[in-house]
Structures are given as C-alpha cells and as structure tokens.
C-alpha cells in the first residue's frame, strides 16, 4: 500500500530534550515536506526537500532541522524543543508527475 | 499575511442539501488550486483540483469553481452526506516547485 508513515503518533516531552520525528514514504517520491497544523492558522510549511541532499526552509523553519540522506526518509529534528512547538505535525510527499501531496497520519507533539 | 483565506471556520448543512465552502486568495501567480479533506486523527487527503486556465472542474458530487477576477474559489458538494463531515482546506500550488500554501480550513458538519 502506498503510504507515508510517521512515528511516533503521539509524543509528550520536556523543554530542551532533543527529539526526532521520523517520516518514510514507499512511493519513490522526489518531494517531501513537513507541515504543522495549529488552530486558526491552518497548515504551515516547516521544511521541504526536492530530492536527496536537497532541503530548504519553508514558512516557519525556526527551531527545526531536517535531513534527506535517502529518498524515502525525511526526519524532522527538534534540537531544543520549546512549548511553542506544541502542535500537530504532518509529513507529506509528492512527485512532479501527479497532483498534490500524500500525507502521513500526523504526530501530535506536546512540549511541557 | 495569509495568502489563502477561508473566512468561515465552520459550516453546518442539512443532509441532502448543497454545501458551499469558500476560499479567497491574494496571489494571482499560481498554477492550480486544490481542496483537501481531513478527518480527525488522519492526515489530509486530496479531494479535487482546478487549473488556473479553467473556471470549473467537476468530480461526482464535488464541483470546484474559480473566479479569477474576484480571486475567489468555491467547493460545492451536492448532495451532502454525513461522511462529508470533516475539515476542508483549500491550497494553491505552483507546478514545479511543489509547494502547497494552505488556507486555515473550514469545519463542515452535515446534520442528518
């Protein structure tokens, strides 16, 4: 089944404790992206990657890092999480040959 | 400043009637608009799209209308069904850079 898999689904952590949210897709898509969803703000892009070793900032990149060492994986790294990063995070992938994105099921992160 | 706006955070419609969701945009330099549907605890899923060179696209019960002079987009669902209850996001895309810019979403509730 074609899908984007994120882990974990839920995470509660403390301020300053580094964490990684993993994202993997099995569709051989070139493009991958991370979004966060917050009430009243919709989905905002954090980082994206056009292909392996090619990453760039989205609209809200502060406090986040990403890497794209393999085509299928695009982890999101929070080096020193803060409470304002409490949010619902979505990974997505796409290819230039088709419409829109395929999204993962989301990771709900709470930073206390 | 929000480039894609959905001014109605919520909408309730009787089952069998027409649901109309609206979206306004500011950037005229786009290639496509897309609508996504999101259920709780799931990622958004692609619903329907429209090219900038068209003013209407239809897919079953779903029709999207584009009014470029007014910079306005709408999604019509006829007839509305209980399974249509979800949050709907409109998004604009420029083909080639793959970035989707999302609106803030409208929560549609279909009343049986």
Residues of A in contact with B89 (CB under 8 A): 42-43
Q: What is the pLDDT of residue B97?
A: 66
Q: What is the pLDDT of residue B2?
A: 64
Q: Looking at residues A87-91, what average pLDDT do you find?
A: 97
Both tokens of residue A82? 């803060």
**Secondary structure letter of residue A73 according to DSSP:** B
**Secondary structure letter of residue B82 according to DSSP:** G
Q: What is the pLDDT of residue A54?
A: 92
Lowest mean pLDDT among A82-86, A98-102, B34-38: A98-102
Q: Looking at residues A31-38, what average pLDDT do you find?
A: 95
Query: Out of A42, A96, A100, whose CB is closest to B46?
Result: A100
Q: Looking at residues A73-81, what average pLDDT do you find?
A: 97
Strands B10-14 and B106-111: parallel
Q: Looking at residues A80-84, what average pLDDT do you find?
A: 97
Q: In a mutagenesis test of the B interface, which of A101, A105, A106, A108 is the best target, namely the one with the most B β-carbons within 10 Å?
A: A101
Give the whole-angstrom CA distance, residue A17 versus residue A64: 13
State the Cα torsion B111-B56-B104-B98 to the nearest 10°. Answer: 140
- Count of C-beta atoms within a 10 Å radius of residue A111: 20
Q: Where are the beta strands (DSSP E) in chain A?
A: 4-7, 10-13, 19-25, 31-38, 42-51, 54-57, 65-66, 76-78, 87-94, 102-103, 107-111
| B112 — pLDDT class (breaks 50, 70, 90) | very high
Strands B19-25 and A102-103: unpaired
Of A8, A54, A64, which Cα lies nearest the Cα of A32?
A: A54
Does the structure show a pLDDT above 90 at A23?
Answer: yes
Chain-chain contact of B9 with A100 (C-beta, under 8 angstroms): no
Chain-chain contact of B104 with A94 (C-beta, under 8 angstroms): no
Does the structure show a pLDDT above 80 at B28?
Answer: no
Question: Which B residues 30-89 touch A at CB under 8 Å?
Answer: 32, 34, 36, 41-46, 49, 89
Q: Specify which residues A57 forms β-bridges with.
A: A47
Q: What is the pLDDT of residue B77?
A: 98
Q: What is the pLDDT of residue B31?
A: 81
- Cβ proximity of A64 and A77 under 8 Å: yes
CA–CA distance from A1 to each of A5, A25, A26, B44 (Å)? 11, 10, 8, 17
**Secondary structure letter of residue B54 according to DSSP:** -
Q: End-to-end CA distance of chain A, in Å? A: 36
């Amino acid at each position: 089944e074609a899908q984007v898999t994120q882990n974990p689904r839920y995470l509660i952590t403390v301020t300053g404790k580094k964490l990684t949210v993993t994202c993997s897709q099995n569709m051989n898509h070139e493009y991958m992206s991370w979004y966060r969803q917050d009430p009243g703000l919709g989905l905002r892009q954090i980082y994206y990657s056009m292909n392996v070793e090619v990453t760039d900032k989205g609209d809200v990149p502060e406090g986040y890092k990403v890497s794209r060492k393999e085509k299928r994986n695009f982890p999101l790294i929070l080096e020193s999480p803060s409470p304002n990063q409490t949010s619902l995070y979505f990974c997505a992938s796409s290819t230039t040959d088709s419409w829109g994105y395929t999204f993962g099921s989301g990771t709900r992160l709470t930073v206390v | 400043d929000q480039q894609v706006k959905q001014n109605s955070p919520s909408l309730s419609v009787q089952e069998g009637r027409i649901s109309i969701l609206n979206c306004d945009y500011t950037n005229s330099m786009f290639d496509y608009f897309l609508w996504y549907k999101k259920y709780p605890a799931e990622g958004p899923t692609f619903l329907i799209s429209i090219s900038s060179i068209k003013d209407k696209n239809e897919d079953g019960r779903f029709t999207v209308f584009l009014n470029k002079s007014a910079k306005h987009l709408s999604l019509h669902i006829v007839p509305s069904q209980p399974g249509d209850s979800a949050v709907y996001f409109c998004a604009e895309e420029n083909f080639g850079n793959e970035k989707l810019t999302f609106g803030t979403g409208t929560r549609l509730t279909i009343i049986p």
